Structure 1
């Protein structure tokens, strides 16, 4: 069972704590170099949980018809390996990325209607492997295939208690071509209903969608939260590459 940490609905005793801790931060290196690519992997050790998976996320114009949308975090899973986190074929497709660590959190929308698990796979693959995987993912439109879905994380005692494979309604997977990361999100209904035909986020988000998935905004949940975490990830990587401040500078 996943450990709930930094839980916004239950006290948040360790909110703001790092996912894990490393005492010695490596010296910054130039962007685009093999050293910079490798150093980016340290972001999961050096970045607080709340920086990557904020307790609340606001999405302006992030819902059907341009409606505002917001989400509240209900649980953060213990950092783990990648086994069992994806449907078997997706696990196989993502194999070139490798897996140093998998980070996941689950959110509920402000109306407690939908739930979404968002994940960050920190890859062990080299830059060339990630570049090739990223090109394959976009070039072959793999994000549209319903046999390539990530799996959700349920949290007992929350609106996501019944969030399992059969509840998946929409998803968004983003494979980075220049960083060792895969960011994804998968959404469903908070009432635990089964979704017979999941839709990729870009299809569910399409204007005029008449499916239950599209009208409920499940695609917006998946794409909105994947985008939010992806943006925070890139901000964290940029901060990791900045020279550390020593406090010893003197100004005239």
Structure 2
């Protein structure tokens, strides 16, 4: 059998060069594929970042508030007033009311009671209703009329929201013998105003608040001591209702709503 001639040095060098060229060309192809893949990833990432930025700008840019957003703004602003305002903002130093002959007069605030649990500031029958509807707290202050003849305690029951307040007021009775408990301040004209001295009580709803009011005489006369025909005093109870309504109005007065999501400029 014929034997193959041994390869010389030149042939071996040429063979190695061909192999190296083939490997190099394969490496170049892999590198191109890698660069192309990285480029695609970079482009896709840039597109996603751009779309995200556009979406964020679209979401956060100032725009007009919708009707629902305006209503929500009002409700949230009113609901936080009992905390955001100072106590003297909830209970002003003077509250106007209409006296006899429709004369405008002013009740003067004598003192503000410490914030307390709802059930501790009202009669038991009322306390159960407030507790069942998630009453948060009770704020109270006591006023006297312009002549210091009448004493009024106003109580603001803070409910968790307006819906809870509506549910609670549907269950409150119109019994004028129960409601907020009086707050007397020793050393003042109100010091004789207690539970027995309450002539009448009442309430009015406003936003998430129930504003209770009760009235009596500064001289300590009890309800039992007043003839039934005199309990409906021509000035005492109208003044009490007026004071309670004024404080309810302050708390639930609709705030000015900004026209845009970021203020006054859309």
TM over 0.5: yes
Q: Distance between the aligned counterparts of 1:51 and 1:171, measured in 2?
A: 23
Gaps of 5+ in 2: 1-67
More helix by share: 2
For the pair 1:72 / 2:108, whether they are aligned, the reply is yes
How big is the alpha-carbon RMSD for the aligned residues of Structure 1 and Structure 2? 3.2
Give 1:100's match in structure 2, choosing from 116, 133, 136.
136
Give the length in aligned residue pairs. 197
Answer whether contact 1:127 1:180 (CA < 8 A) is retained.
yes
Give 2:168's match in structure 1, choosing from 123, 128, 133.
133
Q: Which digits, 9 at most, give the CA deviation of each residue in 1:42-96, with x for residues without a partner?
A: 211111333321111222xx12443433211100112222132111111122334
Q: Distance between the aligned counterparts of 1:64 and 1:95, measured in 2?
A: 38
Aligned to 1:30: 69
Aligned to 1:24: none
Q: Which digits, 9 at most, give the CA deviation of each residue in 1:94-123, with x for residues without a partner?
A: 334322221111001111111000111111
TM-score relative to the length of structure 2: 0.64
Gaps of 5+ in 1: 1-28, 200-209
Aligned to 2:245: 227
Residues 214 and 67 of structure 1: is their aligned pair in 2 closer, same or farther, counting only changes over 3 Å? farther
Q: Distance between the aligned counterparts of 2:185 and 2:76, measured in 1?
A: 33
Q: Which digits, 9 at most, give the CA deviation of each residue in 1:131-173, with x for residues without a partner?
A: 3333444xxxx22x14532211111111111111000012221
After TM superposition, where is structure 1 displaced by more than 6 Å over at least 4 residues in a row?
Answer: none
Give the greater-gyration-radius structure (CA). 2
TM-score relative to the length of structure 1: 0.67
Answer whether contact 1:173 1:185 (CA < 8 A) is retained.
yes
Give 1:110's match in structure 2, choosing from 146, 169, 173.
146
